[in-house]
Structure 1
């Protein structure tokens, strides 16, 4: 130690090199909105084709679900699997553990699906869809034109943007998405097909043959083997019309005489986007896991800015989601908070120390500790995100603690010296002062760090929220002790080395400090001399704590992360009776016009996302986010639920941390048959809807889509007709009805370098009712007869739809309402209605073994709360052990831990004005000088000699008093863990964290490439 202090240049060089290395590491760290420890979700969809749900489940579904459930690996496990065998398709949603690698789980899921579905018919294999949502950041931009359709706009912009964007190394995928992609539609003429008596399958086979190059063997020529092939007959749209279709009797007819062939928008695509009422393309980019999201977004913006010069005047674009905006805001805000915190800490130090040089010596510890923390973040692969930045900001206010302790003790030792001091004596005084407090400084730092240490080892949601924050605090604050014990005494010796007479500076508020000291001594003496006052105080404190636990704690609002302010208003629309996406487009267009007319002075632009015939979201960008409450209230008065149309008005923030969003009600129906569960699910759904509290009520499987039409062929008649040459079979009839109702994919063709799907169908509306189906014409011996003459058609109300959750087949009913609408009383009333149904109505149905259970919809949040509770008690235990190591006495360690209930009362008291008991994203105008941390984070530890001297010293007592307050705050439940939230206004917000129950938080999101706005989808 003497060698380091005596040669300050070595210390300065080492510290400077480490600081530079830290700065370099900070530029090499990936930058993203959120930590890498997110929760990937994989979605798998497989069309049944000609299978029924029950058949597909037996043949493919059970094996596929088992294969997906078995996806495991290093740090990878499936926490929840939800499989639905619904109308027309198998759908499985796999929720993996927090922190699992999204790229690996998606790759494994695709391999599993491919191995099982490889034997499916081509049409079903083509419809297989596997994608994932990791809850991370993405980039989205809308392009639109009032003069061009989307196909023209796509052809114009795609070569300008996408090839360059795909070269961005941070991007996993980049695409300019055209929701109105085109297809070749072979629309059969019903009267012609009926007249010629040719099944659609025969037409399909002929078209597919015409699309292939036919191998015709090979010939030997001059010692060379020459393969022979017949070139495909169809290369252009016109070629389709000349395909010859074989008819009964050996005749042929051109396809152009049987069907209308058009190149038009995809009839099966059920999603569209509009910006300010104009149809839009979407440029969507998702980053690689762990990559620099900020760099990806900025590179995309740079490419678009360069391409902008080539855009025609009618082409416009709007940025919908740009994570770099929020990241830059986060960095600016953290730097601002660190600067403000440093200035406030320096000001307070100046008031107590009274020397600018000494203040600078102490305050320099803040940037150095942060720079050194970046080195550890680089080593442990922690990216720069909102939570890690929050940890660095929090630690900034704590990092001066150790330096103040060391410097104050050096001053005290010099005050005890008289006369002129030699350089050697000055060195010895500093060494003695540092040696006297080094163990208390280390213990003090450890006591602060062990509070955060358990949060590094928790798992799941708790780690996702607090893991990076805890590591950042530990890294930064841990280095502060090293800086305090090495750099501070070195700088102090360097400053006073050549001074003949050293006098510690006087504090500007020395008179005030002395008066406070006298008052403190009087009060403390009176308390010590009056034991009854001590017991009265303890009893009063116990009463206050008990009352607070009983009356205040249960009434506190509970949430994981509070919702930050935003300038995006979201209007979610759900219907049940629409059959075509154009119906929803009409509804959305009318609502969009209301929004723009009523909010003409409030809205910058709107963005509409339509997800199928029955779900859509209207997003409105508000000019002034402070006006959001008034705007939201106005829209709630304009749009109300009516009949089957449900409207939920909320706000959307792209920078919100993606968290579980459980409903308030979850009812499980197990046992019995599929039909029995559907009956009970429907009854309970009606009970919840009758409360008129829950904006969203849904079931799994969907009880509103559980009816079907079943066709039963009259086999005897079919057998007789087949003997007379009837060419139809039940299988060909099934295929024909599919073509007439849904249409059918029959192949692909390359046109202008693009792969274009080919779809065969009947004109829309040909078969739209039971009567139409019964009248479907079939040619028998030259006559047309209706389908009903050869088959029985019945409506089945009990269509089999299966839902399996973690290998448990059941039915589920959910109810969800905005947080401000729901109360404990309303929730209890709903539970009471369900309990009444279980006790009184269910037995009357005679459904046998059906069981109804109201389950906890917040199981994951409850588990996370348990993890936090365990981590908190581990922190207490570690603090206790640290105190024993410092004081060498169990009794004194227990006395220190007595501050815990005091801290709990303080936390509850702070909650009374409305502070949330949660990690809250609070008011953006909240600055560091409002943070209680700046009043309590002070050094608190001394060894026995320093404590004995402190009561006689004007600089010793104030550190001792503030030390005690600091320990009470850190050891108690009101641990000051600041957190960051990012908001659309591009500012960050600080708030304190107090350990408390976790609860659900409303978030709305959709899947990449399936919608990314606040869609309110429930899957």
Structure 2
């Protein structure tokens, strides 16, 4: 024993320092409080936040058609942006009078630095822009542009203008909720003065559209008019010539004839109302709607989108929005306006995290039961004590490193749960092995010696596990930052677990196994060694040991049996390795039904979320009403599905963007031949997997595809992982978007 004390390794030294130290209890309390604090304050999200810096550059050149914009503005601008370091991809898009270039940087690039490089590149090359080009507008795009909540207001009792005004007032109130970054309003009618010109009267007056445009611009002005000084007081003057009503617009003088003024109202019909729109939004009740409306009830709608500030907790922000929305719904909204929360990433994140916490607790409980069966309740209790302490330390360190609590974080903890109890089990087993050989006064030395004995092998095993996960930190693309919590949390969990195994387990063993050791020592001194009878023969093994011996002994005694056993293991290993390959060559095809005993090969399991999307693309030049007919036919199918609560149709534009849509470029998509339908399902405990519902809807839409063969109807599910867009998909999107103008991708 003295020789061993001089050869103490890390495990032995830690055990010797902490097994009876009072500071051990303080450390345990501190770690527990640290973990509770981390669970409370760490932001909860559904997925890890992936930084993909991007920017949209809007360039106006009035009077140019889409081909001119494409060749004179977009192509040179794309080349300038593509020359920037760190640019992953550029997309060019042009219509009459305007073009857009989207610049996408590498995943994980510094967002502020990337935007600064875009601004600098534009400033240095403004002199190369063709004459007539206006100052470009740069708008950043990032993960925080994705709204965490959308609220849809729908009614059949208000005009589109009145509904938009209600939505604007509600949006202004919700935007004041703490940690809400920005809010936008989609849909409804904008208040406007519509001028319907009479071509015959305009021609008889000898006037042109340009005359009317110049007259309106000259009369609709607000200018500073200098100032007056009176009695040592300066009074500022302003010229207020703004046109505020249809009467003001009608009284604008646009010319003269025979010495008489010609008013705009003399050549046009002027009305106040909604501005002419090229989009339409509606909310439709499904069979499972909670508003007690008949299925298929369709109402005009507006949608409020709300995004959170970077680094804030999606759960708390969403809860605060819902609390204020509940008060405003009772106090400020007109009767007959239906309020529907059509996206709630806070609830989704909280549900996913709570479910994984529940599974983590179940896993801890299962481990505890197994340890109690095979080690005894005292030994099991000591090992289980290290589990919450390890989890608390890991979550606390993750909080300090800027990580969030999301489903990948908790997956890493569940993955490492079976590994992080290994150190404690090895230490407590070795202490238990030395238990019966310790003298009554030497139990402390036995604890230290037992811990020291397994220190180096345990350290090597822990290092091997850590090295197996570290390479995941170097994965590139979107999958890298998406899976980054695993190579962060698993090594931290392993290191924390082995340190606690060397400190807390010896401390617990010394406190709770001393009586057991003393009893074993007394028994040993009176009856001899416990594994031998008085006649020197060995005591019979227990049931577990007997079963193990019956399996292993024949293999040790016979080389033939050993070879057969190894052959069976190799064959089973090869069959297991062939299972993924069979998915690619099976007669049913990769996406066909599974073969007998088949297993799907996927990077990640299908998510079970509460929504998915349908996109409708009709041929170029299709009128908005014709596209609306296809969307209506799709809606008729959706309204008969028992799992759909409601759905929103965005005709002529995209639905509120999610992260997958952000990567697809949905924010840029609009046109009379385009529509998206956002579908919301009942809670997941009331339906099958969302993928199953989506497949059911896809099959039901076959009749719509037959009626409208020229329309392309696609279903977009929420991807279980990051939305990685392959190049073939980018080329496909480029082809189907040509109807809105010219589209290029670099």
TM score, norm. by length of structure 2: 0.79
Q: 1:19 offset after TM fit, Å?
A: 2.0
Counterpart CA distance in 1 for 2:147 and 2:520 is: 57
Q: Is the contact between residue 334 and residue 390 of structure 1 (CA under 8 Å) also seen in structure 2?
A: yes
Distance 1:28 1:285, change over 3 A: same
Q: 1:300 offset after TM fit, Å?
A: 0.8
Q: Match of 2:478, SS?
A: helix
Q: 1:162 offset after TM fit, Å?
A: 3.0
Q: 1:410 offset after TM fit, Å?
A: 0.6
Q: Is the contact between residue 620 and residue 673 of structure 2 (CA under 8 Å) also seen in structure 1?
A: yes
Q: Is the contact between residue 38 and residue 395 of structure 2 (CA under 8 Å) also seen in structure 1?
A: yes
Q: 1:43 offset after TM fit, Å?
A: 3.6
1:360-759 to structure 2, matched below 5 A, reads 360-417=381-438, 420-422=439-441, 425-497=442-514, 501-503=518-520, 511-526=542-557, 559-568=602-611, 570-576=613-619, 579-596=622-639, 598-599=640-641, 601-610=642-651, 611=653, 612-623=671-682, 624-626=686-688, 628=693, 631-632=696-697, 635-642=700-707, 645-648=710-713, 650=715, 652-653=717-718, 656-662=720-726, 699=735, 702=738
Residue number among 33, 37, 43 corresponding to 1:30 in the alignment: 43
Unaligned runs of 5+ in 1: 668-695, 707-800, 807-1019
Counterpart CA distance in 2 for 1:116 and 1:477 is: 53
Tell me what 2:52 maps to: 39
Q: 1:434 offset after TM fit, Å?
A: 0.5
The C-alpha deviation readout for 1:7-45, integer Å capped at 9, x for no partner, is 342101112112212221232222222212243443444
Q: 1:273 offset after TM fit, Å?
A: 3.5
Unaligned runs of 5+ in 2: 1-13, 286-297, 524-529, 531-539, 591-599, 654-670
The C-alpha deviation readout for 1:419-468, integer Å capped at 9, x for no partner, is x511xx11100111000111111111111111111112333223133211
Tell me what 2:661 maps to: none
Tell me what 1:338 maps to: 360
Distance 1:581 1:549, change over 3 A: closer
Distance 1:697 1:447, change over 3 A: closer
Counterpart CA distance in 2 for 1:273 and 1:113 is: 40
Q: Is the contact between residue 25 and residue 374 of structure 1 (CA under 8 Å) also seen in structure 2?
A: yes
Distance 1:227 1:164, change over 3 A: closer
Counterpart CA distance in 2 for 1:163 and 1:510 is: 76
Tell me what 2:220 maps to: 211
Residue number among 295, 310, 315 corresponding to 1:294 in the alignment: 315
Tell me what 1:320 maps to: 342
Counterpart CA distance in 2 for 1:303 and 1:145 is: 21
1:104-183 to structure 2, matched below 5 A, reads 105=114, 130=139, 132-134=141-143, 138-159=148-169, 161-183=170-192
Q: Is the contact between residue 61 and residue 134 of structure 2 (CA under 8 Å) also seen in structure 1?
A: no
Counterpart CA distance in 2 for 1:31 and 1:124 is: 45
Distance 1:607 1:549, change over 3 A: closer
- Which 10-residue stretch deviates more, 40-49 or 235-244? 40-49
Counterpart CA distance in 2 for 1:150 and 1:308 is: 19
Q: Is the contact between residue 578 and residue 614 of structure 1 (CA under 8 Å) also seen in structure 2?
A: yes
Distance 1:614 1:376, change over 3 A: same
Distance 1:236 1:698, change over 3 A: closer
Q: Is the contact between residue 90 and residue 745 of structure 2 (CA under 8 Å) also seen in structure 1?
A: yes
Q: Is the contact between residue 177 and residue 283 of structure 1 (CA under 8 Å) also seen in structure 2?
A: yes
Q: Match of 1:563, SS?
A: coil
What's the Cα RMSD here?
3.9
Distance 1:187 1:516, change over 3 A: same
- Which 10-residue stretch deviates more, 626-635 or 203-212? 626-635
Q: Is the contact between residue 346 and residue 359 of structure 1 (CA under 8 Å) also seen in structure 2?
A: yes
Query: Does residue 805 of the first structure (1) align with residue 741 of the second (2)?
Result: no
Q: Is the contact between residue 85 and residue 91 of structure 1 (CA under 8 Å) also seen in structure 2?
A: yes
Q: Match of 1:639, SS?
A: helix
Tell me what 1:728 maps to: none
Q: 1:122 offset after TM fit, Å?
A: 14
Q: 1:479 offset after TM fit, Å?
A: 0.5
The C-alpha deviation readout for 1:170-190, integer Å capped at 9, x for no partner, is 322123434422333233221
Counterpart CA distance in 2 for 1:550 and 1:657 is: 22
Distance 1:103 1:30, change over 3 A: farther
Residue number among 8, 20, 24 corresponding to 1:11 in the alignment: 24
Q: 1:584 offset after TM fit, Å?
A: 2.8
Distance 1:539 1:361, change over 3 A: closer
Distance 1:291 1:63, change over 3 A: farther
Q: Match of 2:100, SS?
A: strand
Counterpart CA distance in 2 for 1:130 and 1:699 is: 25
Distance 1:487 1:538, change over 3 A: closer
The C-alpha deviation readout for 1:728-781, integer Å capped at 9, x for no partner, is xxxxxxxxxxxxxxxxxxxxxxxxxxxxxxxxxxxxxxxxxxxxxxxxxxxxxx
Q: Is the contact between residue 69 and residue 95 of structure 2 (CA under 8 Å) also seen in structure 1?
A: no
Counterpart CA distance in 2 for 1:386 and 1:171 is: 23
Residue number among 77, 83, 91 corresponding to 1:64 in the alignment: 77
Tell me what 1:723 maps to: none
Counterpart CA distance in 2 for 1:527 and 1:66 is: 73
- Which 10-residue stretch deviates more, 214-223 or 139-148? 214-223
Distance 1:542 1:501, change over 3 A: closer
Q: 1:629 offset after TM fit, Å?
A: 6.5
The C-alpha deviation readout for 1:162-212, integer Å capped at 9, x for no partner, is 344323343221234344223332332211222222221121111111112
Q: Match of 1:267, SS?
A: coil
Counterpart CA distance in 2 for 1:325 and 1:192 is: 60
Q: 1:525 offset after TM fit, Å?
A: 0.9
Counterpart CA distance in 2 for 1:609 and 1:392 is: 40
1:90-101 to structure 2, matched below 5 A, reads 90-100=99-109
Tell me what 1:351 maps to: 373
The C-alpha deviation readout for 1:942-978, integer Å capped at 9, x for no partner, is xxxxxxxxxxxxxxxxxxxxxxxxxxxxxxxxxxxxx
TM score, norm. by length of structure 1: 0.59
Q: Match of 1:699, SS?
A: helix
1:73-84 to structure 2, matched below 5 A, reads 77-84=86-93
Q: Is the contact between residue 26 and residue 374 of structure 1 (CA under 8 Å) also seen in structure 2?
A: yes
Tell me what 2:594 maps to: none
Query: Does residue 191 of the first structure (1) align with residue 212 of the second (2)?
Result: no
Q: 1:373 offset after TM fit, Å?
A: 0.6
Q: 1:336 offset after TM fit, Å?
A: 1.3
Q: Match of 2:62, SS?
A: coil
Counterpart CA distance in 1 for 2:43 and 2:335 is: 37
Counterpart CA distance in 2 for 1:55 and 1:232 is: 37
Counterpart CA distance in 2 for 1:547 and 1:636 is: 36
Paired residue total: 668
Counterpart CA distance in 2 for 1:176 and 1:697 is: 27
Q: Match of 1:82, SS?
A: strand
Query: Does residue 201 of the first structure (1) align with residue 201 of the second (2)?
Result: no
